[in-house]
Chains A and B, each alone.
Chain A
Amino acid sequence: MDLTVSNNRRNKIHPWIFALFAACASILMMFASLTSAYVVRHAAGNWLEFAMPTIFFVSAGVMVASSIALHFSYIFFKKENEKMYKLLLIIGSILGVLFLVTQYKGWMDLNAMGVFLDGNPSGSFVYAISGLHAAHVLGGIATLIMALVHAFGLKFKVTDKRKVRFKMTLIYWHFVDILWIYLLCFMIFQ
């Protein structure tokens, strides 16, 4: 894998991180198309109006807290503070899993409100959008598990390679975090 990374690099940004940004752009297009489909469908009428369950706001808070914890974990990692790095990594990861739990709770609440997956498209859209987002968070959790394996399985050492890996995990995590806040705002204000 270092085949090209050891190449002549005049640029400041690491190619893998650039590739991650491109991937994020791609994911963003997916959600942009879903939200624009939402707008188009909304404009056509026959649209069930309902208030978003409050638990979705809680999940947004959990996600932000998780992002902050991981961000500081990365800062401590760079400062070679092993203890804080590992502690915050664990906290961030647990909050990440908690986010999925709160999302699940949100879907249950929607169901209890009478907003069903196979009912009016206004509800179906919320399930589809939040479900697809949760799938991307799940991908993020997989990378966090890798980060935990690195943190606890390998000897603590701050190398460029590990920094890049951690940074990529972090960027992706911030991305799905901001994405959820955007999606939530979108669904509230539409």
Chain B
Amino acid sequence: MATTVKTAPGEINEVDQLIEKYGFDDHFHDHHDEDKYKSNFLTTYVFSQDHKIIARQFLITGIFWAIIGAGMSIIFRLQLGFPHESMAWLKPLLGKWIQINTDTGMGTLAPEFYYALVTMHGTIIVFFVLTAGLSGTFSNLLIPLQVGARDMASPMLNMFSYWFFFLASVVMFYSLFLSTGPFSGGWTAYPPLSALPQASSGSGAGMTLWVLSLVFFVVSVLLGGINYVTTVLNLRTKGMTLWRMPLTIWAFFVTAILGILSFPVLFSGFLLLTMDREMGTSFFLSEIYIGGQALENVGGSPILYQHLFWFLGHPEVYIIILPAMGLVSEVLSVHARKPIFGYKAMVYSIMAIGFLSFIVWAHHMFMSGVNPFISNFFVVFTLIIAVPSAVKVFNWITTLYRGNIRFNAAMLFAVGFISMFISGGLTGIFLGNSAIDIQMHDTYFVVAHFHIVMGIAAFFGMFAGVYHWFPKMFGRFMNETIGKIHFWGTIIGAYAIFWPMHYTGLAGLPRRYYSREGFETFRHFGDVSEFITIAAILTFFVQLLFVVNFFYSIWKGRKQTTRNPYGATTLEWTTPIIAGHGNWPGKIPTVQRWAYDYGKDGREFVPQIVPLEEGEHDGGEGDH
């Protein structure tokens, strides 16, 4: 099996010799002989400053939220797929949100709670799972390990980054149990639903906690992002030039920059929103009547909030997808036993995507009353994103071409990612056109598009990363067979859920509706909706396989016996199997070549710590 491949030039002794010979002595252990960082249980496992522990904290919190977020989608899918079935059996879980008809005994989901579920599903998956759980986990785990640093630039701020996320989690979790319910105005929190506490049941305390939670979350992202950028730019080991960095690092680096520059804008939006809520200002409110009574707010503009929100919101989807792209690039190259195709083109396309992500935000607002001439600008730049995206897809596929592919779970998910990214990316070209968007906006076509291209695809990237780097995190492997079942169940399930939505969406079925019952024209979508719900339930249970596999393998998984089980070139596989705080027991390894020397000059792979031979060109920068 792939994972047991012997590590020809990477045998333990040889790695140690190379580090000893070429490594850099930073006298780390002169200062840390007694390792003050491991003084007790609390500072080792709870308030840890070790990036590897913090990565695991992010991941496990992310898994917790993924179960809740996905579970919510199952409940609202039940309402959509089986509106005539009684949901009384959910009453023990949902309490008053299941309304029982006393005559028939029929239980129905309260409409306001349906909206709360959809809102929370979006918020949780976008921010807590695919931002914190994905970028938080792997940026933390891999940046110091792959650039050859002892830890982040500021381990303490890094610890705070996790604990602010934890605080955000606690507040959001608490809001789920409010008697008025959590916030229900959509994950985008558009005013006036978010700005007027009296607008709906979730707009009061639910929204207050939502915004508080997200402010903590913004702080978490900023502390993390500042650390990631600083670490990548300042703490790379000797020889690790920018053009020798693995694509994972490039992706995390650009992601962190996007976060640093876009999350503050969201914060500004929240600041003005909170002032509207609590202090009577009118930034986003104007001429509103509630229950026949005119409010005093005059002169605000809800569109202004949308601009502020989407200035974050669009880079946010790249904050989600770029780390997944980085992980997939690395996994593909390692398990295809080939250098990544077009390394520099990959780097430039990451940069191009990062840059373009800042100038396309209004494509989320084509139908919000944006001037059509301004829309033209956003259409053009939106469609241009297809270029670097296509470059990446081409390079991934070309990396696979004639590769000596190991189809393990990590690799399957990486390939699945490409499939999802293509399927979802193509529908993005439809939606990016403001004219076509007139028909498509707010339909299930949009739901299908973004779930496939950034929801499922990012999850696939994350799964590829978890299966691949699980040994690095826990010194054990996840079960491969269950992993493969997980993959096939997920890819078939995900397409079964979202593929049909393209058709219902094209036919005009609107998203966000609690019920289709009032619309004769949508009645015939009942069967499709039922099918989607069944697929969603099955796919959800397949994910539980992953959860069981994950936690079982932490303690009972097959032990990692060689330091570099996949025969990978990058630095994280040169540490001891269970690395302490500081990562390398002695010197820090130095880097002699780029990260993708696979199948070179008859050698299966050449780790980055192996010096270039005479006359040998460096793949990253040497021969250009």
Contact = CB atoms under 8 A, between A and B. Distances in A.
Given A33-B268, A34-B268, A26 B298 contact: no
A26 B154 CA distance: 17
A46 B298 contact: yes
B614 interface: no
Interface stretch (A15-23, A99-107, A149-157): A15-23
Nearest to B49: A3
A61 interface: no
A46 B299 contact: yes
B59 interface: no
Contacts of B28: 3, 6-7
Nearest to B157: A19
A3 B260 contact: no
A29 B235 contact: no
Given A8-B238, A23-B222, A23-B226, A1 B233 contact: no
A7 B265 contact: no
B271 A6 contact: no
Contact of A6 (B31, B234, B267): B31
A27 to B, nearest CB: 7
Interface in A131-170: 132
A4 B155 contact: yes
Nearest to B274: A128
A15 B234 CA distance: 6
A27 B308 CA distance: 15
Interface in B138-172: 144, 149-157
Interface string A107-142: 000000000011011001100100010000000000
Contacts of B275: 117, 124, 128
B34 interface: no
B36 to A, nearest CB: 10
A139 to B, nearest CB: 12
Interface string B25-40: 0111001100001000
B345 to A, nearest CB: 27
Q: Is the interface of B mostly helix, strand, loop or mixed?
A: helix
Interface in B234-289: 234-235, 237-238, 260-265, 267-269, 271-272, 275, 279-283
Interface string B288-316: 00000000001111001001100100000
A40 interface: yes
B301 A7 contact: no
Nearest to A135: B271
B222 A15 contact: no
Interface residues of A, number: 39
Given A8-B237, A13-B234, A124 B31 contact: no
B282 A8 contact: no
A49 interface: no
A87 B365 CA distance: 56
B304 A30 contact: no
A6 B27 contact: yes
Given A44-B301, A124-B275, A128-B275, A22 B230 contact: yes
Nearest to A14: B234
Contacts of B226: 19, 22-23, 26
A125 B485 CA distance: 56
Nearest to A25: B260
A41 interface: yes
A60 B280 CA distance: 28
B227 interface: yes
B582 interface: yes
Interface in A18-60: 18-19, 22-23, 25-27, 29-31, 33-34, 37, 40-41, 44, 46
A54 to B, nearest CB: 24
B282 A15 contact: no
Contacts of A5: 153
Of all A-B residue pairs in the complex, the 8 with the closest CB atoms, nearest first, are A118-B280, A30-B264, A33-B265, A15-B153, A15-B234, A124-B281, A19-B230, A29-B264
Given A37-B307, A117-B275, 14 more contacts: A3-B581, A4-B153, A6-B26, A15-B235, A18-B234, A26-B264, A29-B260, A29-B262, A34-B268, A37-B268, A118-B280, A120-B282, A121-B283, A124-B281
Interface of B: 24, 26-28, 31-32, 37, 49, 144, 149-157, 222, 225-227, 229-231, 233-235, 237-238, 260-265, 267-269, 271-272, 275, 279-283, 298-301, 304, 307-308, 311, 581-582, 588
15 contacts: A3-B32, A3-B155, A4-B150, A6-B27, A8-B588, A13-B234, A15-B231, A16-B153, A22-B229, A30-B264, A34-B271, A37-B272, A44-B301, A121-B300, A128-B271
